[in-house]
């Protein structure tokens, strides 16, 4: 079997075009330009690339974006003060604090400080709570990107066994939450899964992952998932982004797994571009909500 490629880049471009049309309409109706501010502390090279890509894509869809930088020598209080100013600035609709923060900083304290109305990453406790209750203000970007990919390729999830490998607050945990909900944010077909979550303490990982109809991997271990982990015909979504000597690879060994899976995402060009597209969608949603406009 040779797996169908789930082209995240193409789907992201399609979603970006939809967002651009909505932004044009919103700007014409209100005169307001949605604005995302990215906050970067220190000089982590990977974070620099992520922030630049997010800003570039923002501009492509007719939004503005601004970068606020603090040196790694800054004190956490300076970041909290900056966030306070951005919370109060009515021309700023979305705030994104690029993670990771410097070692030793309290990430939760920082994320808690972002106004829930501007928390377009949906990392703060109020937005996480709303997601868990099935009434999200914003959807978490990477999990939402995965749902969009499944929906737009007509891959039904309802009643299937979805195995999520990784339980981070950013990817694994919210994704498992969204997949198990009765009414999914992108339709009932991409909801109602029977979900199993695996992590570093899971015994006999391959035994569990082999049961997956839909296998989603977000562990940050280059090429860790091989064909021995995958049931024939499974759909495999690789969230991982790992920099190795030969370039960027996912958590899934693409060559090995595409010989048994029915569909698979490439890395790069899979989930990554969708994450950015969903961030823009949240920024537009935030601008709409802050200006009393409903979708």
Query: Of the candidates 43, 73, 93, which has an alpha carbon nearest to the alpha carbon of residue 292?
Result: 93
Judged by CB under 6 A, the residue of 220, 248, 291, 293 near ligand NDP is 220
Handedness of CA 270, 174, 118, 107 (dihedral sign): negative
Taking CB under 6 A as the rule, which mask of x and - marks residues 133-172 in contact with ligand NDP?
---------x----------------------xxxx-xxx
Q: Which is nearer to ligand NDP, 191 or 267 (CB)?
A: 267
H/E run at residue 38: strand 35-41
If binding is defined by CB under 6 A, does position 174 make contact with ligand NDP?
no
Bridge partners for 239 per DSSP: none
List the structure tokens of 115. 């106004």
If binding is defined by CB under 6 A, does position 241 make contact with ligand NDP?
yes
- Least distance from C-beta 138 to ligand NDP, angstroms? 16
Q: Which is nearer to ligand NDP, 26 or 123 (CB)?
A: 123
Rg (C-alpha) for the chain, rounded Å, is: 19
Catalytic residue selected from 7, 16, 54, 238: 54
If binding is defined by CB under 6 A, does position 3 make contact with ligand NDP?
no
Catalytic residue selected from 121, 213, 251, 253: 121
Active site residue 121: yes
List the structure tokens of 237. 């979504």
List the structure tokens of 141. 């970007």
Catalytic residue selected from 98, 148, 213, 253: 98
Which part of the chain contacts ligand NDP (CB under 6 A), choosing from 132-140, 181-189, 199-207, 277-285? 199-207
Phi and psi dihedrals of 176, rounded to 5? -60, -40
Q: Would you say 214 and 235 are in contact if contact means Cβ atoms under 8 Å apart?
A: yes
If binding is defined by CB under 6 A, does position 212 make contact with ligand NDP?
no
Distance of CA 46 to the CA centre of its chain: 16
Active site residue 245: no
> Residues, the chain, total?
295
If binding is defined by CB under 6 A, does position 240 make contact with ligand NDP?
yes
The residue whose two tokens read 């109602």 is 192
H/E run at residue 209: helix 205-209
Question: How many residues bind ligand NDP, per CB under 6 A?
Answer: 26
- Least distance from C-beta 282 to ligand NDP, angstroms? 14
Between CA 34 and CA 21 the distance in angstroms is: 13
Active site residue 119: no
- Active-site residues: which are they? 54, 98, 121
For binding to ligand NDP (CB under 6 A), which residues are involved? Answer: 142, 165-168, 170-172, 198-202, 205, 218-221, 224, 239-242, 271-272, 275
């Amino acid at each position: 079997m040779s797996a169908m490629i789930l082209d995240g880049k193409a789907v992201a471009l399609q979603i970006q075009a939809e967002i651009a049309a909505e932004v044009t309409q919103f700007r014409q109706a209100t005169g307001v330009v949605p604005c995302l501010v990215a906050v970067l502390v220190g000089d982590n090279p990977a974070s620099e690339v992520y922030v630049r890509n997010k800003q570039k894509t923002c501009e492509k869809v007719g939004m503005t974006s601004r970068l606020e930088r603090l040196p790694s020598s800054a004190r956490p209080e300076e970041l909290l003060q900056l966030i306070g100013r951005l919370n109060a600035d009515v021309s700023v609709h979305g705030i994104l604090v690029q993670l990771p923060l410097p070692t030793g900083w309290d990430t939760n304290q920082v994320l808690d400080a972002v106004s829930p109305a501007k928390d377009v990453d949906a990392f703060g406790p109020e937005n996480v709570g709303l997601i868990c209750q099935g009434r999200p203000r914003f959807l978490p970007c990477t999990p939402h990107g995965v749902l969009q990919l499944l929906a737009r390729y007509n891959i039904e999830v309802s009643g299937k066994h979805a195995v999520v490998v990784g339980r981070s607050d950013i990817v694994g945990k919210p994704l498992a939450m969204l997949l198990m909900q009765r009414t999914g944010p992108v339709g009932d077909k991409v909801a109602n899964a029977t979900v199993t979550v695996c992590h570093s303490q899971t015994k006999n990982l391959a035994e569990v992952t082999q049961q997956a109809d839909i296998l989603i991997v977000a562990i940050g271990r280059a090429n860790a998932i091989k064909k021995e982990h995958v049931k024939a015909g499974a759909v495999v979504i690789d969230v991982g982004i790992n920099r190795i000597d030969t370039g960027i690879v996912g958590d899934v060994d693409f060559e090995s797994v595409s010989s048994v899976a029915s569909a698979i995402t490439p890395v790069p060009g899979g989930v990554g571009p969708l994450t950015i597209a969903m961030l823009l969608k949240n920024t537009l949603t935030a601008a709409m909500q802050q200006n009393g406009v409903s979708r």
